[in-house]
Amino acid sequence: MLDKKLFKAIKVITIPQYLYQVQTSKSRLTKYFHRDSGRGKTKKDLTEIPKKYKAVGYDLQGYAVTITGDRIISNPVAAGTSKYVPINGQIFYSQSGGQFTRAKIVKALHEYYTEMLKDVEPFENKDYPLVMSVNWFCPYSHKTLDNTNFAAVYIKTFEDVLTNMGIIKDDEVRYITGSFPIYSPIDDFDNRKIVFTFYQDLRAEVQQFKLKL
């Protein structure tokens, strides 16, 4: 894929069964149908509440109730269960996940990569500058990430951990001149993996960086 005269492969790091979701809550809040929205409330008019719940009115606090006066839970399946969110770069640039969710994802990936990379030896000065190809393997479905969404979270956090652990000196362009994802479909999700291949960038225009390392 890369011109072997300009890019020399020097190291491969494989991450098997990569992390694909993060737990954001151990026990989800029970929510009830209510006149108004708010914490623990799902705003619904009586006519909008599914008939199976048999809502007949509201109590004095505004909660929808059955004929026996019981408040009606709006999330009976999810209430009390753990909540997981899929790792997706779109959460970061669309702001859809909220700061808490984004921080959870970054922390989880940092901890995961740190454990996986604990035995990896640091690169030497002579190895720089580097280019990193990132081949990720998973089955295809309509939920499969776009390459850019994958790169936005998996590659960035990986480079951050490489730097924090001293495996690379930094992820700025004197040390990493390029990082790019490649998607490869497979049949079994349990065989998912990410293969990071590092190349020494031998292009004349970037070799000048060696003088400043």
Is 43 inside any structural domain? yes
Question: Hunting for tokens 């292009």 — which residue is that?
Answer: 203
The tally of domains found in the chain comes to 2
Across 65-74, average pLDDT: 87
Inter-CA distances, 210 with 9, 132, 174, 186, 205, Å: 18, 18, 8, 39, 11
- The pLDDT-based confidence of 167 (bands split at 50, 70, 90) is very high
Over the stretch 12-52, which tens digit does the pLDDT of each residue have? 999 999 988 877 767 677 888 898 888 888 888 888 888 88
Using the 3D structure, point to which of 46, 81, 116 is the last residue of a domain.
81
More confident residue, 149 or 112: 112
Cβ within 8 Å of residue 93, ≥6 positions away:
152
Are 117 and 206 members of one domain?
yes
pLDDT at residue 104, as a whole number: 84
Q: What is the CATH number of the domain that holds 178?
A: 3.30.1330
Domain match, 17 and 44 both: no
Q: Greatest CA span in the chain, whole angstroms?
A: 81
Structural domain contains residue 1: no
* Cα 37 from Cα 43, distance rounded (Å): 5
Closest by Cα among 4, 14, 8 to 119: 14
In this structure, what token pair is assigned to residue 196?
């990071």
Residue-range definition of the domain harbouring residue 52:
27-81
130-138 and 83-86: which strand pairing? unpaired
Same domain, 116 and 44: no
Q: Quick check: is 12 in a domain?
A: yes
CA angle (87, 11, 179) in 5-degree steps:
45
Kindly state whether residues 93 and 186 are assigned to the same domain: yes
Q: Are residues 21 and 36 in the same domain?
A: no
